[in-house]
C-alpha cells in the first residue's frame, strides 16, 4: 500500500468536503444560522444540473453556468421569504424551519425524480489522470480541489476587498448599527444565502460527476460539511478547507486500513480535533 | 418649515413607555442640544428619529416628509446619520473600513471625504489599519463621528459623544463641531454635561421621564429653571 498516494487522495477528497462546507460556513459566519437543509440543497442543485444537461444536451460544466444564477435567485428568495422571518435571538426557530425544508426537499425530489440513483455524465475527464512524481492522480479530484481553493480565494476577496464584503462583516458584527449605515440587513442576508447556494451548485457539480446520488443523500453531506466547518473554526473559510482535508485524509487512511472504517475514521478525526481544540483550528478572534 | 421635527412622538419598550408625546424641532443650520438625567429618554428619542425604533409615519418629519415609519437604512439614505450611544464601531472592520462603510450607501456630494476626516482627526490616519476597537475611547469616538460624516448627512445626531472621556479629549472632539456645522450639517447633540451643551448649542431641550420639560436659547435659561426641568421639582 502506498501511504503517500492514500494521503494525496484524502487531501483531494477534502476539496469536495470543503465545497460542501464553504456555503454553510459563509452563512453561519454572517448570520449565525445553521441551515439543516444545506445537504439537500446540494442534492437539489445536482438534480437541477441533471435536468439542464438532459434537456439541453450539454455538458455538466456548461449546465452549471445556467444553474448558478438560478440557485442564487433561489437562495435570495428563500432567505427573504422564509429564513429572515425566523432569525433572531432564539436559535431554535431557524433550526426547526431548515429541518422542515430538508424534509420537504427530500420528499419533493423523491416524487419528482424517484429514488433511483443518478449521475452527471463527466465525459472523458471522469477517467483521465495525471502521473505526478510516481503518483496516479485523477483529473476530476484535482479539479474538485482546485475549485474549492478558488471558491475560498474568491470568497475571501469578496469578504475583505469589496464593499459587499464590508457590509457582510459589519452586519454580522451588529445589524442595528449596520442599518444606521444605510444597509438593510435582510438584503445582506439574502445576498449571502444566494452566494452560498452558488457554492452549493459548484459542490453539486462535482458530487454528481464523481459518484451516484439520489434524493436521500443530503443529510450525510450536511454532516461532512458541518464537521469541516467546526474543525476549521466557525467563520474561517481557510479553516473550513483545512477541516475538509482532515476529514478527507482520515477517511482515505481509515479505508486503507480497513474499507469498513472509511466513514467512521472521518467522524473520529472530527471528535479528536474537538477534544484538542474545542473551538476548532482557526477560531475567529471576535465572538 | 423646520428641517427636522417630531410631533407627539411616543415610544415604548414592551409594556414600558419611554416617550410621551415629544415635540422638538431642528432648523436648517441649527445645533440643538438635548439634556436630561439618566433614563430621561434621550437615547430613545435619537433611536426613534433614526428609525431604529419605528413610529407612526407623521411623528417624525424631514423637510415635511413623513419618515417616522421608515426603517433605519431608509432614514439614513434621506440624510440623517447617527453617532450612536456607546460608539458601536464594527469590531471586524479596521478604522478605515469603519469610516468607509459610513459613506458606502450614501456618499452625498458634500464636504466630507476620507482625506478630510483624516485632516480633522489626524490620529485616525495613523491608526487606519488598526481594528476600530483597538483604539482608545476618544479615538473610537472620532471614528464614530467620522463614520457618520462620511455620508455627508443633512442632519447629524450625536448621542453622548463625550461620555466617559477625559476633559482634554472632550475638548478635542467638540473642536470639530464648528467645522461640521460649516460643512452643512445641522446637529442634534445629546449631552449630559449641561455646561458643554449650553456652550455648543443654539437651542436646548431638557427632558425628564420621557417628556420635554424645558426648551430655549442658552442665554434665556436660568440655572434654577434648568435645575427644575432636569431633576423635577425638588422637595427640600
Ligand atoms: N431596550 C430597552 N428595554 C426596556 N427599557 C428600556 C430599553 N432601553 C431603554 N429603556 C428604558 O427607557 C427609559 C429611557 O431610556 P434612554 O436610554 O432613552 O434614556 P437616556 O436619557 O438616554 O439615558 P442615559 O443618559 O442613561 O443614556 C429608561 O427608563 C430605560 O430604562
Ligand atoms: Mg442615552
pLDDT digits (tens, 9 = 90+) for A185-238: 999 999 999 999 999 999 999 999 999 999 999 999 999 999 999 999 887 899
pLDDT tops 90 at residue B1: no
Within 8 A of B130 by CB-CB distance, chain A residues are none
pLDDT category at B217 given cuts 50, 70, 90 is: very high
pLDDT tops 80 at residue A244: yes
Answer yes or no: is the C-beta of B39 below 6 A from any ligand 1 atom: yes
Indicate whether A285 belongs to any domain.
Answer: no
pLDDT digits (tens, 9 = 90+) for A74-128: 999 999 999 999 998 888 999 999 999 999 999 999 999 999 999 999 888 888 9
* CATH code, domain carrying A210: 1.10.3470
Q: Whose CA is nearest to atom 16 of ligand 1?
A: B41
pLDDT category at B223 given cuts 50, 70, 90 is: confident
Within 8 A of A172 by CB-CB distance, chain B residues are 92
pLDDT the model gives residue A285: 56
- Return the sign of the alpha-carbon dihedral for residues A266, A268, A274, A276: negative
Q: Is A182 on the interface with B (CB under 8 A)?
A: yes
Average pLDDT over residues A18-35: 93
Average pLDDT over residues A19-29: 94
Spelled out in words, what is the top-level CATH class assigned to the domain B4-231?
alpha beta
Measure B44 CA to ligand 1 centroid, in angstroms. Answer: 6
Q: Measured in Å, how far apart are chain A's first and last C-alpha atoms?
A: 45
**Host domain of residue A200:** 3-276
Minimum-distance ligand 1 atom for the alpha carbon of B207: 21
Q: Whose CA is nearest to atom 26 of ligand 1?
A: B38
What is the value of ipTM here, to two decimals?
0.94
pLDDT tops 60 at residue B236: no
For residue B82, what are the β-bridge partners?
A: B157
pTM beyond 0.90, yes or no: yes
pLDDT digits (tens, 9 = 90+) for B170-181: 998 999 999 999
Average pLDDT over residues B156-168: 91
Percent of chain B with pLDDT over 70: 98
pLDDT the model gives residue A126: 84
DSSP conformation letters of chain A: --HHHHHHHHHHHHHHHHHHHHHHHHHHHHH----TTHHHHHHHHHHHHHHHHHHHT--HHHHHHHHHHHHHHHHHHHIIIIIHHH-SS-SHHHHHHHHHHHHHHHHHHHHHH-S--B----GGGGT-EEEETTEEEEHHHHHHHHHHHHHHHHHHHHHHHSHHHHHHHHHHH-HHHHHHTT--HHHHHHHHHHHHHHHHHHHHHHHHHHS-B-TT-HHHHHHHHHHHHHHH-TT-HHHHHHHHHHHHHHHHHHHHH-GGGHHHHHHHHHHHHHHH-TT-SS--S--
Average pLDDT over residues A17-43: 95
Within 8 A of B97 by CB-CB distance, chain A residues are 166, 169
pLDDT digits (tens, 9 = 90+) for B34-58: 999 999 999 999 999 999 999 999 9
Within 8 A of A181 by CB-CB distance, chain B residues are 73, 76, 101-102, 104-105, 147, 151
Minimum-distance ligand 1 atom for the alpha carbon of B42: 21
- CA B95 to chain A, closest CA, distance in angstroms equals 12
B44, B52, B83, B92: best to mutate for the A interface, most A CBs within 10 A? B92
pLDDT category at B163 given cuts 50, 70, 90 is: confident
pLDDT the model gives residue B228: 85
pLDDT digits (tens, 9 = 90+) for B189-203: 999 888 889 999 999
Average pLDDT over residues B10-22: 95
- Rg of chain B over Cα atoms, rounded to whole angstroms, equals 17
Contacts of A212 (CB under 8 A, 6+ apart): A117, A118, A119
Q: What residue spans define the domains of chain B? A: 4-231
pLDDT the model gives residue B26: 97
Mutate to test the pocket of ligand 1, among B40, B164, B205 (most ligand atoms within 8 A of CB): B40
pLDDT the model gives residue B110: 87
pLDDT digits (tens, 9 = 90+) for A263-274: 999 999 999 999
Minimum-distance ligand 1 atom for the alpha carbon of B14: 4
pLDDT the model gives residue B104: 95
pLDDT digits (tens, 9 = 90+) for A251-263: 999 999 999 999 9
Question: Which ligand gives the minimal distance to the CA of B84?
Answer: 2
Beta carbons of B92 and A170 less than 8 Å apart: yes
pLDDT category at A287 given cuts 50, 70, 90 is: very low
Beta carbons of A180 and B77 less than 8 Å apart: no
Answer yes or no: is the C-beta of B162 below 6 A from any ligand 1 atom: no
Closest partner residue to A172 among B84, B92, B97, by Cβ? B92
Nearest chain B residue to A163 by CA: give it.
B104
pLDDT digits (tens, 9 = 90+) for A151-198: 999 999 999 999 999 999 999 999 999 999 999 999 999 999 999 999
Please check whether residue B121 is in contact with residue B144, taking contact to mean a CB–CB distance below 8 angstroms. no
E strands along B60-164, which residues? 60-62, 65-66, 80-83, 155-159
Supply φ then ψ for residue A74, to 5 degrees. -60, -45
Average pLDDT over residues B15-26: 95
Nearest chain B residue to A30 by CA: give it.
B92
Average pLDDT over residues A54-61: 96
Q: Is A125 on the interface with B (CB under 8 A)?
A: no
- CA A230 to chain B, closest CA, distance in angstroms equals 20
Average pLDDT over residues B139-156: 96
Indicate whether A281 belongs to any domain.
Answer: no
Measure A281 CA to ligand 2 centroid, in angstroms. Answer: 40
Answer yes or no: is the C-beta of B1 below 6 A from any ligand 1 atom: no
Q: Is A179 on the interface with B (CB under 8 A)?
A: yes
Beta carbons of A181 and B50 less than 8 Å apart: no
Amino acid at each position: 500500500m502506498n501511504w503517500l498516494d492514500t494521503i494525496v487522495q484524502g487531501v483531494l477528497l477534502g476539496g469536495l468536503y470543503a465545497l460542501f462546507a464553504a456555503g454553510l460556513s459563509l452563512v453561519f459566519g454572517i448570520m449565525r444560522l445553521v441551515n439543516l437543509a444545506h445537504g439537500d440543497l446540494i442534492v437539489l442543485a445536482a438534480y437541477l444540473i441533471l435536468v439542464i444537461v438532459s434537456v439541453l444536451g450539454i455538458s455538466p460544466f456548461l449546465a452549471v453556468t445556467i444553474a448558478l444564477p438560478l440557485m442564487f435567485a433561489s437562495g435570495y428568495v428563500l432567505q427573504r421569504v422564509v429564513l429572515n422571518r425566523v432569525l433572531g435571538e432564539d436559535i431554535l426557530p431557524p433550526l426547526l424551519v431548515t429541518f422542515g425544508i430538508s424534509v420537504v426537499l427530500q420528499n419533493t425530489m423523491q416524487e419528482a425524480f424517484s429514488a433511483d440513483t443518478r449521475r452527471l455524465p463527466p465525459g472523458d475527464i471522469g477517467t483521465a489522470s495525471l502521473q505526478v512524481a510516481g503518483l496516479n492522480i485523477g483529473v476530476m479530484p484535482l479539479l474538485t480541489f482546485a475549485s474549492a481553493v478558488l471558491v475560498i480565494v474568491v470568497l475571501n476577496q469578496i469578504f475583505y476587498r469589496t464593499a459587499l464584503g464590508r457590509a457582510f462583516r459589519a452586519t454580522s458584527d451588529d445589524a442595528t448599527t449596520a442599518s444606521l449605515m444605510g444597509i438593510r440587513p435582510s438584503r445582506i442576508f439574502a445576498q449571502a444565502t444566494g452566494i452560498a447556494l452558488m457554492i452549493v451548485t459548484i459542490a453539486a457539480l462535482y458530487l454528481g460527476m464523481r459518484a451516484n446520488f439520489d434524493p436521500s443523500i443530503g443529510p450525510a453531506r450536511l454532516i461532512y460539511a458541518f464537521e469541516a466547518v467546526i474543525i476549521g473554526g466557525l467563520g474561517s473559510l481557510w479553516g473550513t478547507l483545512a477541516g475538509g482535508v482532515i476529514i478527507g485524509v482520515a477517511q482515505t487512511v481509515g479505508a486503507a486500513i480497513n474499507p469498513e472504517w472509511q466513514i467512521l475514521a472521518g467522524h473520529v478525526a472530527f471528535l479528536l480535533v474537538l477534544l484538542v481544540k474545542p473551538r476548532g483550528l482557526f477560531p475567529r478572534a471576535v465572538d | 418649515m423646520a428641517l427636522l421635527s417630531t410631533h407627539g412622538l411616543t415610544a415604548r419598550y414592551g409594556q414600558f413607555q419611554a416617550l410621551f408625546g415629544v415635540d422638538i424641532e431642528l432648523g436648517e443650520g441649527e445645533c440643538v442640544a438635548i439634556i436630561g438625567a439618566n433614563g430621561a429618554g434621550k437615547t430613545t428619542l435619537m433611536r426613534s428619529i433614526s428609525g431604529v425604533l419605528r413610529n407612526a409615519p407623521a411623528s417624525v418629519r424631514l423637510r415635511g416628509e413623513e419618515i417616522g415609519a421608515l426603517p433605519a437604512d431608509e432614514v439614513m439614505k434621506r440624510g440623517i446619520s447617527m453617532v450612536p450611544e456607546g460608539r458601536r464601531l464594527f469590531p471586524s472592520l479596521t478604522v478605515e473600513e469603519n469610516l468607509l462603510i459610513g459613506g458606502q450607501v450614501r456618499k452625498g456630494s458634500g464636504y466630507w471625504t476620507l482625506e478630510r476626516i483624516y485632516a480633522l482627526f489626524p490620529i485616525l490616519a495613523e491608526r487606519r489599519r488598526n481594528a476600530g476597537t483597538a483604539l482608545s475611547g476618544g479615538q473610537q469616538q472620532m471614528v464614530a463621528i467620522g463614520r457618520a460624516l462620511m455620508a455627508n448627512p443633512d442632519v447629524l445626531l450625536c448621542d453622548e459623544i463625550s461620555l466617559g472621556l477625559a476633559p482634554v479629549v472632550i475638548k478635542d472632539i467638540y473642536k470639530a463641531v464648528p467645522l461640521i456645522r460649516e460643512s452643512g450639517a445641522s446637529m442634534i447633540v445629546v449631552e449630559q454635561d449641561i455646561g458643554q451643551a449650553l456652550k455648543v448649542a443654539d437651542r436646548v431641550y431638557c427632558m425628564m421621564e420621557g417628556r420635554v420639560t424645558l426648551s430655549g436659547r442658552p442665554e434665556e435659561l436660568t440655572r434654577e429653571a434648568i435645575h427644575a426641568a432636569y431633576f423635577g421639582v425638588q422637595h427640600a
